[in-house]
Chains A and B, each alone.
Chain A
Amino acid sequence: MTAAGVELTFVAYSSRAVHPFSESELEQLLVESRARNTASNISGLLLYRQEKFIQFLEGPTEHVLELMESIGRDDRHEDVTILWREQTTARRFAEWTMGYRTMREPAESHGFRSSFDDLEDPADIDNVVQAVRDLTIWFRVRSDAPLPR
């Protein structure tokens, strides 16, 4: 996608679906996202749980910012909130123009923190960053992709 060493922007944001998405609506969203991201050299991941979206986007800064503006105008979801943004030179999701997973609901927490919930903890950015890393590991394992070194 992007040559090594080129500065990229990584953004994690959350939003809420204005209504529960059907499988066909999610599929349509992914088709649109993947086409747009391919054209903009953007890679990333979409998670969906309980009518809530979490999305990780990474790519050239200008394209990522344009995309975030577009997402803010998309009337299929609301309450778009930036959770974390960083400048980076390495992609986490280079293999995916938009990876996707519907997340199972935790049946039992066993006393552990939830990475999904930690993403939206504005009081502790360390928890947010750790949750991004943990969900990246989870997604790559589920996708049979190599783990980051």
Chain B
Amino acid sequence: MDPEWSPVVWACAEDGFYVGNVDGEFVGYVDTHPDGHHAFDELAHPLGVFDSLAAAMARLSNHRGSRTDTASGVRG
């Protein structure tokens, strides 16, 4: 495993709103609306709208160059 690799850790701040952190540092969020799951980076720049929560989270992980999948980033 790449020693530099760290997964995005997600937490649900409110129903439909998920905050992503890597080693405690904020990296982005997913906000769910009727038209889909909107992914944003740490500067609130939009990364796209996705049909599934997993796809939106994966987009953020890919955006920051992580090689993780979303499942490995689940807390709890």
Contacts and interface: CB of A to CB of B under 8 A. Distances in A.
Q: Do A and B bind each other?
A: yes
A138 B16 CA distance: 11
- Dominant secondary structure at the B interface: strand
A115 interface: yes
Interface string B9-44: 011111111110100101001010000000000111
Interface residues of B, number: 22
Contacts of B14: 103-104, 106, 115-116, 138
A141 B29 contact: yes
Contacts of B10: 112
B76 interface: yes
B12 A115 contact: yes
A113 B19 contact: no
Interface string A106-149: 11111111111010000000100011011101100100001110
B58 interface: no
Contacts of B44: 141, 146-147
A54 to B, nearest CB: 12
Contact of B11 (A103, A104, A115, A147): A115
A118 B10 CA distance: 13
B14 to A, nearest CB: 5
A120 to B, nearest CB: 14
A148 B75 CA distance: 23
Given A111-B74, A137-B26, A106 B11 contact: no
Given A108-B15, A112-B10, A130-B21, 8 more contacts: A113-B12, A115-B12, A115-B19, A130-B11, A137-B29, A141-B29, A147-B26, A148-B26
Interface of B: 10-19, 21, 24, 26, 29, 31, 42-44, 53, 74-76
Interface of A: 103-116, 118, 126, 130-131, 133-135, 137-138, 141, 146-148
